[in-house]
Amino acid sequence: MSISKRGAAMVASLGVLALAACSTPETTSGGASDGGTTDATSAASEAPASDRTEVGALTPRIVLAHDGGVTTIDSADGAVLGTSELDGYARLNPAGDGRHVAVSAGEAVTFYDTGLLAQGHGDHFHYYVQSPALTDLSVEAPHPGHVVPHDGRTAIFADGTGAITLIDPSALADGELDVLEETATDDPHHGVAVPLTGGGLLTTQGTEDSRSTVQVLDADGNVTAETDDCPGVHGEAVAQPTESGDVVSLGCENGAVVYRDGEFHKIAPAADYQRNGNQKGHPSSPIVLADQKVEADPEDGIERPTEIALLDTRDDSQQIVDLGSPYWFRSLDRGPSGEALVLTYDGELNILDPETGEILHEVPVVQKWIEPDDWQQAGPMMAVADGTAFVVDPANQKLSMVDVASGEIYRELDLPVVPHEIQVTTGTATGEYEVRAGGEESEGGHGGHDH
């Protein structure tokens, strides 16, 4: 592996690149809501001072990727806050700071400012809102793949070259792209990289035709752990750490593999072929939620599993739960206390206790549906933030907001577009608000929700 360190505090002028296959972003206005926003007028990374407004609490903002661009709406009333035009298919990932979204389109990953600002002031926060806009902060990434934030760094993987770029997401708020490190895998492949605590990095190795290796490198680039027992490696999730450090689960075609206590551990598969290629973790849960596919060669090319796997990273065991209805890769997420959420074809949002596999709530939230033949087509999906599951029904252009703890739908919104991806930002990197002593502006619980 070739590793090139650029220093821990380099502001990367080289990273400020044009979005290769995208048009110049245009931002259109939407009505002001109780979030206090004004008309969107700028696509710069820092909005003019007149556009920034102080508010008592932040309302989560819903970012939707759709044909022609990215649109942001207010979760309080569905008001359109801004639209940035983009050519081609765009994917969305958290940037790692709770404010920006990483937009993968064309040959680059460009950062989108959702306009939510939570600024610490002594023992409390001050909150500000401004118009959302696509910034000019961009990382060149041919065939952009996984974007993974962890422990104050965000890793961007380029499938077309195997290049890995690590940035400091906190610098985005200052209108800067701070590239901490640039490295690459031995060969290009569909892979992933995960920043580890203490400056290390977990990454896959492979080729376009085959991949089965996962490595862990220390801050100096030395391989400290490795496994070759992960054929078809795909999908990653960070679980609750141990006293020794990070715990990461990865999907393979012969059962998942777990990095824990400096070593890799194999979870024995429940079938000859077991692919857990889509995974969701939670920082306070040792259990990883994963899909459960057992057909190496599905008859119509698409397996429609009804079972999910709950992977226990403490002892490398797993629990298989049959939900009785299929789901797809956009169906999985985690709640604020680690709840396992799965959106199934029968239109229900299943909320499970990850430790026991017990279904806590079955919430009818969308009409019955079936996975589209093309994964890029719009289908039911969700994102979880601030204790809420934001569930999208693209066929009816509806979004339902479900309180994860109670399983109650407390708000429904009409959508202005037919989205194929969703991200929700809250202004905080954790996605949840904390009560701070002496802070009148700091809201506990749902940060301005009225339920």
pLDDT tens track for 171-201 = 999 999 999 999 999 999 999 999 999 999 9
Beta bridge pairs of residue 347: none
Mean pLDDT of 104-117: 96
Q: How confident is the model at residue 9 (pLDDT cuts 50, 70, 90)?
A: very low
Which whole number is the average pLDDT over 281-290? 98
| Of residues 121 and 235, more confidently modeled | 235
Percent of the chain with pLDDT over 70: 84
Torsion of CA 261, 266, 270, 276, to 10 degrees: 80
The alpha carbon torsion through 375, 379, 384, 389 (nearest 10 deg) reads -160
Q: What is the per-residue pLDDT for 34?
A: 38
Write the single-letter amino acid at 229.
Answer: D
φ, ψ for residue 105, nearest 5 deg: -155, 145
| Confidence (pLDDT) at 124 | 85
d(CA 275, CA 177) in angstroms, rounded, equals 36
- Under DSSP, the state recorded for 96 is S
d(CA 147, CA 151): 14
Report the pLDDT value the prediction gives residue 125, as an integer from 0 to 100: 85
* Residues, the chain: 451
- Model-level pTM greater than 0.95? no
Residue 425 has pLDDT above 50, yes or no: yes
More confident residue, 19 or 232: 232
* Closest residue by Cα to residue 380 from 327, 441, 449, 430: 327
Q: How far apart are CA 165 and CA 183, in angstroms?
A: 7
pLDDT in tens, 199-257: 999 999 999 999 999 999 999 999 999 999 999 999 999 999 999 999 999 999 999 99
